[in-house]
Structure 1
Amino acid sequence: MVAEKELSKNDEQSNFLHSLLTDGAITPVDSDVDSYELELPPWYDDGKFKRAQSYFKRNFFAMFVAKMCGLLVILAVPSILDVLIYTNQSSTAVTAYRRYVATIMHVLNWYYEDLVPNSASWKSIAYVRRMHASTSKRSHSKLSGRIISQKDMAVTQFGFVGYIVLGYKNLGIVYQTEDMEAMIHFWRVIGYMIGIQDRYNLCTDRLSTTEQRMTQVQEQILRPALVSRKENFEKMGNALVNGLWCFNPFLDYDAFVFLTSRLTDVPGYHYWAEEHPSPGCETVYVKFTRYSRFILYFLLLVHETLLRFIVFRWYFNSQMVLSRFLITYFPFLAIFKFGVRDAYVRILK
């Protein structure tokens, strides 16, 4: 009986990945901006949703780094990279700054505001969904049928929550099963509302199934994409890091690619002695500049040691709150780097 249940679970997961890579790759996120009505899913749980918001605030710094790595890893997926290149809104430091700061503002709206009709959070989700539908329609006509597919949306969903679920130990995220279940519910709701169909949604009603789906996406889609990343990945990744440097000056391209690859279990991206696959095996970071190696060591020290202590967790979280305030009202680093006009980013005008 137990064996039959295990076979059933394996079949379910195999069917999910197969469906995602076949039907999901040709199914658009939305057929048009008027083809849907924004609404809460019937299984929405307000208690879980608000618990996830509180969980994020208690782990702001660690989860920001998780999402930063998530943004980098999805750039390695060719179908997503091609659409981003087509939109031409994140290919340089200044355009990437404006695009990704806007993304951060949208996501922080979801974490900080009540999800009710006409709220800032609701309007933000509506805007993001319209933008995806419109971009998909335009890229379909300009890029030989290229669309923003259900597969692309599910992979992007991984970028925002996948490393939180699978890499919480390496990131220093405080773990309780109930909190993680709430976070999964949160992103299941967000996924539903931005147009991800339930059969492609990485977040399900169970922690175990969600972990299995995310592991499959990481192992079968993201890790191979990182190993054989396209030439434009470096250009777009550098633009992302250089742009968001104005939000967090401790960003470094080489350090974050290493951190992202390590979270994804890419061969060669090991750091501590016990992680080395064999004695004397060389790791990638030995070729980095001293500055990149320092940033990498600092990040690993913070996430794997310092964030275990509440005082350090409070300090780094407070720095992220300060960064959010500054980027909204006084983005002095962006003013210095890009000028006043481009430094101020506003959403939901």
Structure 2
Amino acid sequence: MKTVLREGIQPDDGAEFLIFIPRAEEVVKGILSDQAYDIPSDPDTVEEADMKLPDWFDENKFKQGCRFFWDFCLPHTFSMFIGFVGAISIPTIISVLVGTQKSNTPYTAYKRYVSTYLHVLSWFSNDLKPGSVSWRSLNTVRNRHMRAGKSARLKNQGKVSQRDLALTMFGFVGFSVLNPHKFHITQLNSGDMEAYIHAWSVIGSLLGTQDRYNICRKTFDETQQVLQMLVDEMYTPCLENVPEYFEHSARVLSQVSTVFVSFVDADFLIYWTKHLCNVPGYIYTEGDRIDLQKKLRKLQNGADDIGIDSMELIHKCELATPPTRCRLLYLKDYDTVADSPAYKNLPFKSKFNMALFYVSMGFYSTFIGRHILNLYYKFLMYLAQHFPYIAILRYGFKNAFVNMFKEDDKDPTPPKLNSEYYMKNKETWYQATYNVLMLCIVCCYCFCCIASLVY
């Protein structure tokens, strides 16, 4: 029987041979629907789950996607950290995350997120077949999702749904596919990006995501469309009005990242996440500033410089947290990037880190820079797995080592409210000086490590 593919056209009941391929708009509409939230990520019991490769799995394409990850392992990793910050702005996701009590303190967050990233590394480092390390890893993660979902339902804290799986996957793959130019990720061979998308599509399927809710589509263009629509309709409004415990969760996550890269801080991560998700006012380049002023002028419609509610610049999302405050944007505040309110309120350390990130990514865009910084990244990953000296100093020798197949530790300590982080004291000159000196020491240490690896 001949199979016919017709994009975006629902088959009639009599056309059994017709395969329905939804357009990007229909995929996103399905992900954000109530039905997607009602469908759990997996059956109620581990025994009922059947993990198998999808029919459309292409082994050669999957291996090409794995190679592409390692070709740009540093920016892919950083985009995932940014993606994690975005994911915890989704109310249903952070509700389950906080309810597990496995990432509410710096130590438990270290155990959870390092374990998660070790799982990711195993998926791109081993053959994907039954009995392999990556297969065992995927099965472990899937079982944890089942237990977390069941626990959340019993506590009336939500569930792990098909929608949550799709939105969480965005955290792993979204920004590196949607904004590869901002991370200086480029194809080295034809089809690299589509192969990378295929690899994540397979991983998502093995973790229980149904094909109709899989954000990694068959082509690069369609995947970008889906990702951009999810940013506009979900991530931007959620980051504009973050749910309770977002600030706390983002900050414990930033402490985990310092185990790998010492210059990353929470304010930098949050600002950069909002910048990538086009949250109004979170600008960094002159082009961003000009675009924002054009939008404000259009909404003012020739009137004096009146404040424009930030919600008028973003898509309304019924799933986002209701606005708790009105944030007004004034045209005069965006004559320069340095004087824009969100950037101006950043600590000097965060501004320095942002500049350092830009310089590092500029160096990474060169052939030599990419190979040197990839080598340095692999060196850091080796230390994190075999001799995590920073974690040893923080949590003790025994607690510093992470076994990704072992259940994460729990801590009943409740997370802090967002309001506790909003009451920040103004940074003093001596605090800024101390932070810069410490960053310079860290940069010198990193330079010495890179030089020793190269020479």
| TM-score computed with the length of structure 2 as normaliser | 0.72
1:17 and 2:39 are equivalent in the alignment: no
Could you tell me the percent identity over the aligned residues? 31
What amino acid maps onto 2:204 in structure 1?
Answer: G
Name the structure with the higher helix share: 1
What amino acid maps onto 2:282 in structure 1?
Answer: Y
Q: Counterpart in 2 of 1:77?
A: 90
Structure 1 pair 55–296 and aligned structure 2 pair: CA distance change class (3 A): same
Name the stretch that deviates more: 83-92 or 285-294.
285-294
1:142 and 2:200 are equivalent in the alignment: no
Q: Superposed, which structure 2 residues align to 1:13-162 within 5 Å?
A: 13-22=24-33, 23-32=35-44, 33-143=46-156, 146-162=158-174
- Structure 2: how far apart are the matches of 1:100 and 1:152? 17
What amino acid maps onto 1:96 in structure 2?
Answer: A
Kept in 1: contact 2:116–2:404 (CA 8 A): no
Secondary structure, counterpart of 1:341 in structure 2: helix
1:330 and 2:341 are equivalent in the alignment: no
Q: Counterpart in 1 of 2:319?
A: none
1:321 and 2:378 are equivalent in the alignment: yes
Which of 207, 217, 221 in structure 1 is aligned with 2:220? 207
Kept in 1: contact 2:25–2:226 (CA 8 A): no
What amino acid maps onto 1:265 in structure 2?
Answer: N
- Structure 1: how far apart are the matches of 2:36 and 2:8? 25
Structure 1 residue runs of 5 or longer lacking an equivalent are none
Structure 1 residue 288: deviation in Å?
1.5
Higher RCO (C-alpha under 8 Å, 6+ residues apart):
1
Structure 1 residue 120: deviation in Å?
0.5
Kept in 1: contact 2:127–2:134 (CA 8 A): yes
- Structure 2: how far apart are the matches of 1:312 and 1:250? 19
Kept in 2: contact 1:168–1:175 (CA 8 A): no
Measured against aligned partners, the alpha-carbon deviations of 1:133-185 in whole angstroms (never above 9, x if no partner) come to 111111111125x1100000000110000111101011111236611000110
- Structure 2: how far apart are the matches of 1:163 and 1:247? 20
What amino acid maps onto 1:195 in structure 2?
Answer: G
- Structure 2: how far apart are the matches of 1:302 and 1:264? 22
1:302 and 2:357 are equivalent in the alignment: no
- Structure 2: how far apart are the matches of 1:44 and 1:196? 14
| TM-score computed with the length of structure 1 as normaliser | 0.94
- Structure 1: how far apart are the matches of 2:215 and 2:372? 32
Q: Superposed, which structure 2 residues align to 1:164-203 within 5 Å?
A: 164-175=176-187, 178-203=191-216
Kept in 1: contact 2:239–2:274 (CA 8 A): yes
Secondary structure, counterpart of 1:34 in structure 2: helix
What amino acid maps onto 1:28 in structure 2?
Answer: P
Structure 1 residue 342: deviation in Å?
1.6
- Structure 1: how far apart are the matches of 2:276 and 2:8? 27
Secondary structure, counterpart of 1:230 in structure 2: coil
Kept in 2: contact 1:102–1:345 (CA 8 A): yes
Secondary structure, counterpart of 1:199 in structure 2: helix
1:340 and 2:353 are equivalent in the alignment: no
CA RMSD, 1 decimal: 2.0
- Structure 2: how far apart are the matches of 1:213 and 1:204? 8
Measured against aligned partners, the alpha-carbon deviations of 1:186-235 in whole angstroms (never above 9, x if no partner) come to 00000000000000000121222211111111111111110101231000
What amino acid maps onto 1:124 in structure 2?
Answer: S
Which of 253, 266, 291 in structure 2 is aligned with 1:240? 253
Structure 1 residue 300: deviation in Å?
2.0
What amino acid maps onto 2:31 in structure 1?
Answer: L
- Structure 1: how far apart are the matches of 2:358 and 2:74? 13
Secondary structure, counterpart of 1:112 in structure 2: coil
Structure 1 residue 16: deviation in Å?
2.1
- Structure 1: how far apart are the matches of 2:54 and 2:252? 36
- Structure 2: how far apart are the matches of 1:92 and 1:98? 10
What amino acid maps onto 1:268 in structure 2?
Answer: G
Q: Counterpart in 1 of 2:175?
A: 163
- Structure 1: how far apart are the matches of 2:161 and 2:9? 29
- Structure 1: how far apart are the matches of 2:345 and 2:9? 45
- Structure 2: how far apart are the matches of 1:285 and 1:7? 46
Instruction: Determine which structure has more spread, i.e. the larger CA radius of gyration.
Output: 2
- Structure 2: how far apart are the matches of 1:243 and 1:268? 27
- Structure 2: how far apart are the matches of 1:57 and 1:250? 22
Kept in 2: contact 1:105–1:347 (CA 8 A): yes
Name the stretch that deviates more: 192-201 or 323-332.
323-332
Structure 1 pair 42–272 and aligned structure 2 pair: CA distance change class (3 A): same
- Structure 2: how far apart are the matches of 1:185 and 1:7? 23
Secondary structure, counterpart of 2:212 in structure 1: coil
- Structure 1: how far apart are the matches of 2:388 and 2:113? 14
- Structure 1: how far apart are the matches of 2:198 and 2:395? 38
What amino acid maps onto 2:349 in structure 1?
Answer: Y
Name the stretch that deviates more: 281-290 or 63-72.
281-290
Kept in 2: contact 1:25–1:150 (CA 8 A): yes
Structure 2 residue runs of 5 or longer lacking an equivalent are 1-6, 11-19, 294-333, 407-455
- Structure 1: how far apart are the matches of 2:100 and 2:8? 44
Name the stretch that deviates more: 37-46 or 272-281.
272-281
Measured against aligned partners, the alpha-carbon deviations of 1:291-317 in whole angstroms (never above 9, x if no partner) come to 1110011112222x2222011111221
